[in-house]
Amino acid sequence: MSEGILFVLSAPSGAGKTTLSNLVMDHFQALTPSISYTTRKARPGECNGVEYRFIDHAEFERMVNAGEFAEHADVHGNRYGTSKADLDALLTSGKDVLMDIDVQGAAQIRSSRKGGIYIFIVPPSMEVCEERLRARGAEDEESIQRRLEGARNEIKEAESYDYIIINDKLELAAETLRSVIVAEHAGGERVFNKVEEIFQLN
Ligand code: ADP
Ligand code: 5GP
């Protein structure tokens, strides 16, 4: 069985990355989220093992020291990381994986793995980003300010991504993200390897 495709999605907080991920996830049977580990407290409605695996600082540190993370980073005062074992198991089972990670984590994955597809989501403006953060109602004022301060620096990193999607009209942005996923399934070496297998070309 051929490996799945790794899609790495980054965005400043409030751009709509979670909303878009959920919208496209329903459309592709083989697409699965990678569930990160975090020291952040669960928001109301979040469940351990669904949005994140919520762990304490000591356990996070243990995993770092044991080399269990494919990438990890401090983001807005909390720690987040992706388990190497979980990621490898999903990809080798043929699943496509959608990773929702920050720009530091994406850079670590880019330098350690081949073949990932990097997608950056931007809000239509900083004002809209702030409105969305406030409308979500999940953060206190200090956390909102920290996220907004980080946004401009994160957006600078969009240059190194394969695709940039401006999330203005939600359905249009979701359609664009779905199109990227569909197009990557028809792209280059990955597909040719499959064709070689089918037609026994080597
Ligand atoms: P992120 O995961 O990037 O931090 P979310 O997906 O949680 O952002 O979105 C932040 C808020 O903005 C949510 O309340 C969401 O419903 C809203 N939102 C996301 N995309 C749009 C959009 N295109 N138009 C209007 N509201 C949006
Ligand atoms: P939130 O606390 O709003 O869920 O996420 C805050 C930020 O952490 C987002 O930019 C999100 O992409 C990022 N993030 C979530 N999981 C991971 C992870 O496993 N690794 C890294 N590097 N960033 C993550």
Composition of the chain by helix, strand, coil, percent to 5: 45, 20, 30
> Residue 105: CB within 6 Å of ligand 2?
yes
Q: Is 69 helix (H, G, I), strand (E, B) or coil?
A: strand
Instruction: Indicate the angle between helix axes 17-25 and 170-185, nearest 10 degrees.
Output: 60
- β-pairing verdict for 117-122 and 6-10: parallel
Domain boundaries, the chain: 6-199
For the record, the structure tokens of 2 come out as 């051929």
In this prediction, residue 80 carries a pLDDT of: 98
Q: What's the count of helices (H) and strands (E) in the chain, helices before strands?
A: 8, 9
Shortest-distance Cα residue to atom 16 of ligand 2: 101
Q: If you measure from the C-alpha of residue 19 to the centroid of ligand 1, how many angstroms do you get, rounded to a whole number?
A: 6
* 6-199: CATH, from 3.40.630.30, 3.40.50.300, 3.40.50.2300, 3.30.565.10: 3.40.50.300
Shortest-distance Cα residue to atom 22 of ligand 2: 105
List the pLDDT tens digit at each of the 202 positions of the chain. Answer: 688 999 999 999 999 999 999 999 989 988 999 999 999 999 889 999 999 999 999 999 999 999 999 999 999 889 999 999 999 999 999 999 999 999 999 999 999 999 899 999 999 999 999 999 999 887 889 989 999 999 999 999 999 999 999 999 999 999 999 999 999 999 877 788 888 889 999 8
Q: Is 137 helix (H, G, I), strand (E, B) or coil?
A: coil
- Specify the pTM: 0.93
The per-residue pLDDT for range 54-112, each reduced to its tens digit, is: 999 999 999 999 999 999 999 988 999 999 999 999 999 999 999 999 999 999 999 99
Amino acid at 98: L
Q: If you measure from the C-alpha of residue 1 to the centroid of ligand 1, how many angstroms do you get, rounded to a whole number?
A: 36
For the record, the structure tokens of 3 come out as 């490996």
Nearest-CA neighbor of 4 among 96, 67, 121? 96
Rounded to whole angstroms, the Cα distance separating 184 from 180 reads: 6
